Amino acid sequence: MEYKAYTSFAPDFLWGAATSSFQVEGAAKVDGKGLSVIDVMQKNPAITDFSVAIDHYNRMEEDVALMAELGLKVYRFSIAWTRIFPNGNGEVNEKGVVFYNRLINELVKHNIEPLVTIYHFDYPQSLVEQYGGWMSRKSIEDYRAYAEFLFKTYGDRVKYWLTINEQDHVVRIPSRLGLTGDDHYEQLRLGYQANHHMCVATALTIKTFHELGMKGKIGPAISYSMVHPASSHPDDILASKDAMLIKHNYLMDLHCYGEYSHSFREYLADRQFTPVMEDGDLELMKQYPPTMIGVNYYFSEAVRAFPATEEFPIGYQKKSLLPEAEAGVFQVVKNENLDATDWGWEIDPVGLRLTLRELHERYKLPIIITENGIGAYDKLEDGEIVRDEYRISYLREHIKQVQLAINDGVTVFGYCAWSFMDIVSGRNGMEKRYGFVYINREDFDLKDMRRIKKESFKWYQKVIASNGEDL
């Protein structure tokens, strides 16, 4: 639908940017921090690791001053679980507590709203060793207790909380669960068990949030995007609906309704993936749903039908980082209508509007966009200039679609670009850059680490100052 006039962004709309602890902080073994699954996973020697990252731990005040200069209204960051509880449970590390107190106080001083992600991929390695991590029900209480500590320690200044970042990605990427070995089927089975425990842990944490009388909102940060049918053929349309269910909606159905839908139950049973659950688990989820949704959106996908055959029976999955093909369900194909990034992610601003509408219609909760951005080979010119017009174009077109979604009646109260500054990418090191601020670090060269404002910094500064009027 087209409109004669756009609805303006609300005066208190939260313009922001985001990072995660393991990608920016560094200081991986400093001041009492324990090891996470990120710290112990096999390193790719071709890329920068996370032990130093971009040294935010030691340059925090400088970085927050840049956030204030940019004009951020909200900063989304994660707290490193093992900086607070080095073993995931038990003894508290006071130096870690102090660091995040300093960060939050610095943000508040500059009138920047802290948006805290409780857990963003960096699960405590000690809990994996103690009892198998998320695969054990013991994980539920340890997560809840960690979250309760954060609420009591920082809740006087933090109004917005994200429980688990991209849970679906965690359960499908074995290293993030602390799993080793090559049994893909077994890892998927364990992933669905871990997923169930995460949903119970989230509901218990939201229960604790309410019991403590916390102000503000709480919910998951989900990776969610439209899956388009590759054609108008009914089989492709069915494949797109099925892909939406097993990639995205199954998880939000659990968080918001405490339900394994009939279709998803059958999907799990056919593959012997049905998790063990206890009486009361689903009722707990129904009683304590999220009060907001955080959405990470980068690209959409197109799929066609993938009929099961003798060669590719039901249950066959193409082994890939995230699902690309599953016999009897779908196969991801190139969308010829869209351009793509250097990494092959198809650029679909209208897909963001569709995503927001889909979430609004299914779950009817306030939404904040917690990640949206483009990774690129940024080039530093003359030691001080980064001309990233492609980033400006990407963000501009996506922000326009956010405005249109608001016109459609979707409650969107904030937008966090990914990322505030260049971070160490999970699979591409410093080669793949997302930020408004260039970090002058190439591979393992730590001599410089200067923060350099890109052209997109100046552009986003104007966007925020004009409350989205000057795009």
Amino acid present at 237: I
Measured CA distances, 376 to 118, 203, 279, 370, 395 (Å):
28, 37, 48, 19, 13
469 burial (CB, 10 Å; 0-12 / 13-18 / 19+) is exposed
Question: What does the DSSP assignment read for 335-390?
Answer: -TTS-B-TTS-B--HHHHHHHHHHHHHHH---EEEEE----B----BTTTB---HH
Q: Which residues contact 432 (CB under 8 A, 6 or more apart)?
A: 343, 375, 376, 377, 425
Q: Do 26 and 57 form a contact (C-beta atoms < 8 A)?
A: yes
The span from the CA of 409 to the CA of 164, in Å, is 27
DSSP letter (8 states) at residue 333: E
The span from the CA of 261 to the CA of 329, in Å, is 16
Q: Which residues contact 215 (CB under 8 A, 6 or more apart)?
A: 155, 159
Which residues carry out catalysis? 166, 371
What is Dmax (Cα atoms) for the chain?
A: 64
Tokens coding 244: 């939406």
Q: Which residues contact 251 (CB under 8 A, 6 or more apart)?
A: 167, 168, 195, 199, 220, 222
